[in-house]
């Protein structure tokens, strides 16, 4: 059996899609569906059971499951604007520690989600080398909660016993429940449909023009492919960036969305909320040298092809779910 925490979420449900593609259906989905629309991400998927996230630790300690081949820990509060830091500490950090300790004790493959939010303003670069990780200063509490777990892995000398994945700007199908945390691609698609115009934040740095802020964009299918690769290559461990290794601008994104939809690009630059201005990342770009050094030869989609598949194969279809 494979346990996927956050299995009804964006990346988690894409991983289950990949597992199903590879013939894996003995999957325990762990999540907190509550009143959200996340359940819709599971409708097309095959899995053996679902439990609420609050039950997992106790059920593991009671040996409720006869065999666990892997724990893929994608569950977390992913809101970069979450202000309840105690909640983030318990949900993102302590919960992760308990799961990891169980997996290590039982010799179970453990793969977890970190985040590019750990890199803060990028002053130390975007290398996933341990020496760089020790220096990082995240800009928000979400990034800090993720960073704390990375530090726990390093300081506990578990780097060679599990896999951490620092996801950069992931976009694609099944993100629809995330509301304000949805990708700009999803928002831009709907803005074009509603008004014919795409709204992007103004730049508040004199050296960077409006819309020229840059991100490393990752298509969610590629993220799922990479998780499967690590499941197949059990001897490879460590913390790795998950990105294309190339930074693209928001303007590039807006142009690609418009062209895929067959409309002229019309971009309006709007004020950034003041609460975000001192926590905004103007540039991210994954260093992927360490991932390539493992022998992983997966080719990540470029921004244009990822947007093309997302819009044409999902957003413009009656069933937009993986």
Interatomic CA distance for residues 103 and 118, integer angstroms: 24
Centroid of chain to Cα 9: 10
The tens place of each residue's pLDDT in the chain, 322 residues long, gives 999 999 999 999 999 999 999 999 999 999 999 999 999 999 999 999 999 999 999 999 999 998 999 999 999 988 888 989 999 999 999 999 999 999 999 999 999 999 999 999 999 999 999 999 999 999 999 999 999 999 999 999 999 999 999 999 999 999 999 998 999 999 999 999 999 999 999 999 999 999 999 999 999 999 999 999 999 999 999 999 999 999 999 999 999 999 999 999 999 999 999 988 888 889 999 999 999 999 999 999 999 999 999 999 999 999 999 9
pLDDT of residue 269: 98
Rg (CA), the chain: 19
Positive or negative: CA dihedral 293, 155, 78, 121: negative
Interatomic CA distance for residues 217 and 304, integer angstroms: 10
Interatomic CA distance for residues 60 and 193, integer angstroms: 47
Evaluate whether 302 touches 244 at the Cβ level (below 8 Å). yes
Identify any residues that bridge with 163 across adjacent strands, giving them in sequence order.
111, 238
Domains of the chain with CATH codes: 2-171+217-244+287-302 (3.40.50.720)
Evaluate whether 165 touches 242 at the Cβ level (below 8 Å). yes
Q: Which one from 46, 98, 178, 246 is the annotated catalytic residue?
A: 178
Q: Which two tokens stand for residue 51?
A: 């439990």
Q: Which one from 95, 119, 142, 219 is the annotated catalytic residue?
A: 142
3-class state of residue 267 by DSSP:
strand
Residue 53 has a CB neighbour count (10 Å cut-off) of 16
pLDDT of residue 194: 97
pLDDT of residue 88: 95
3-class state of residue 75 by DSSP:
coil
**96-103 contacts at long range (C-beta below 8 A, 24 or more positions apart):** 96/149, 97/149, 97/152, 98/57, 99/5, 99/56, 99/57, 99/60, 99/71, 99/73, 100/73, 100/152, 100/153, 100/158, 100/162, 102/57, 102/60, 102/61, 102/71, 103/71, 103/162
142 part of the active site = yes
Q: Given the DSSP bridges, would you call strands 267-270 and 2-5 parallel, antiparallel or unpaired?
A: unpaired
The 8-class DSSP code of residue 48 comes to S
Interatomic CA distance for residues 104 and 71, integer angstroms: 11
pLDDT of residue 81: 83
């Amino acid at each position: 059996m494979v346990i996927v925490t956050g299995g009804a979420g964006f990346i988690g449900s894409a991983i289950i899609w990949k597992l199903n593609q590879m013939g894996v259906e003995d999957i325990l989905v762990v999540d907190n569906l509550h009143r959200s629309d996340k359940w819709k991400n599971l409708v097309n998927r095959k899995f053996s059971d679902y439990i609420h996230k609050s039950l997992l630790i106790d059920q593991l300690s009671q040996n409720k499951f006869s065999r666990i081949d892997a724990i893929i820990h994608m569950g977390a509060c992913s809101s970069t604007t979450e202000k309840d830091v105690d909640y983030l500490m318990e949900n993102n950090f302590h919960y992760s520690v308990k799961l990891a300790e169980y997996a290590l004790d039982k010799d179970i493959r453990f793969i977890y989600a970190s985040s590019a939010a750990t890199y803060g303003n990028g002053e130390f670069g975007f290398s996933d080398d341990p020496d760089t990780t020790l220096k990082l200063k995240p800009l928000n509490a979400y990034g800090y909660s993720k960073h704390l777990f990375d530090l726990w892995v390093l300081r506990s000398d578990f780097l060679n016993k599990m896999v951490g994945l620092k996801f950069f700007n992931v976009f694609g199908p099944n993100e629809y429940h995330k509301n304000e945390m949805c990708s700009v691609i999803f928002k831009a698609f709907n803005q074009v449909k509603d008004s014919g115009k795409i709204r992007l934040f103004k730049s508040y740095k004199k050296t960077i023009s409006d819309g020229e802020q840059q991100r490393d964009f990752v298509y969610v299918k590629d993220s799922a492919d990479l998780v499967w690769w690590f499941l197949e290559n059990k001897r490879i461990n460590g913390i790795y960036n998950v990105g294309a290794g190339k930074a693209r601008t928001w303007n590039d994104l807006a142009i690609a969305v418009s062209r895929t939809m067959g409309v002229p690009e019309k971009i309006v630059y709007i004020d950034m909320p003041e609460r975000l201005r001192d926590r905004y990342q103007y540039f991210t770009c994954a260093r992927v040298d360490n991932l390539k050094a493992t022998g992983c030869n997966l080719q990540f989609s470029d921004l244009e092809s990822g947007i093309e598949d997302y819009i044409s194969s999902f957003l413009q279809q009656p069933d937009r779910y993986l």
